Amino acid sequence: MSEVKLTAATRTEFGKGAARRIRRDDKVPGVLYGHGSEPLHLTLPGHELLLALRTPNVLISLDIDGKTNELAIPKSVQRDPLKGFLEHVDLLLVKRGEKVTVEVPVQAEGELAPGGNLLEHVLNALPVEAEATHIPEVVTVSVEGLEAGASVHAKDIALPSGVSLAVEEDAVVLQVLAAQAEEAPEGEETEGAEEVAEA
């Protein structure tokens, strides 16, 4: 996967007031932590970070104060519940060659067997262990021809080389539900009337 380079600055101001001032400047407060080091409080460029986070588990190369370069992946992202802008981001420090546990989005492809059945995503993302610089952006699962009652388990999903499951092999990822027959609006009343007639 490609790296996204961002320029970050360490920050010494904390609290809601400081965070608001940072966001007014189209920047985002964040924390970089991991490897037993002290958490590093950062200010990150808002627009560039927003674009980077469109890629799940994006690998970010941080230029901090023009002095150090660190690799990180997003661990927790807080957005404004109404407007959706970034409020805060937690970044996890990683090293090249290091294995990390992340959740990778599951993408289904193919057509279910005819009959109007529904595909349910039991897991929207699959927990996997992968090398920090080779995290897959998505795992693709074929549901071609699956019928009602069929399930796709974690062990059934083909993973890229060097990527392993971080969840039970028998965990259900996708399942096919039978189509629900639509009831007439007066369905219940009709059934009640029939029962009375039979009685």
DSSP letters of 14-63? -SHHHHHHHHHTTEEEEEEEETTEEEEEEEEEHHHHHHHTTSTT-EEEEE
Is 74 found in the same domain as 19? Answer: yes
Is 159 contained in some domain? yes
- Quote the pLDDT of residue 84: 73
Alpha-carbon 162 to chain mean position: 20
Domain boundary pick from 94, 109, 133: 94
CATH number at residue 30: 2.40.240.10
Distance between CA atoms of residues 70 and 95, nearest Å? 8
- List per-residue pLDDT tens for the chain, 199 residues long: 668 999 999 987 777 777 778 877 889 999 999 888 889 999 999 889 999 998 889 999 999 999 889 999 999 898 888 777 788 899 999 998 899 999 999 999 999 988 889 999 999 999 999 999 899 989 999 999 999 999 999 999 999 999 999 999 999 999 999 887 655 455 444 444 444 444 4
Residue 28 near residue 44 (C-beta atoms within 8 A): yes
- Quote the pLDDT of residue 2: 67
Domain count across the chain: 2
Is 162 contained in some domain? yes
Looking at the DSSP bridge assignments, the partners of residue 76 are 90
Tally: H helices and E strands in the chain: 3, 13
Give residue 71's region: left, alpha or beta (phi > 0; psi -120 to 50): beta
Q: Which contiguous run of DSSP H or E holds residue 188?
A: helix 187-198
Task: For 28-43, write each residue's pLDDT tens digit.
Answer: 999 999 888 889 999 9
- Quote the pLDDT of residue 171: 96
Q: Which domain holds residue 57?
A: 3-94
Is 104 found in the same domain as 90? Answer: no
- Residue in 70, 93, 50 with CA at minimum distance from that of residue 8: 70
Is 78 found in the same domain as 44? Answer: yes
- Quote the pLDDT of residue 185: 52
Is 18 found in the same domain as 60? Answer: yes
Is 184 contained in some domain? no
DSSP letter string over 123-134?
-SEEEEEEETT-
Is 16 found in the same domain as 44? Answer: yes
Which residue carries 């002290």 as its tokens? 38
Global pTM value: 0.74
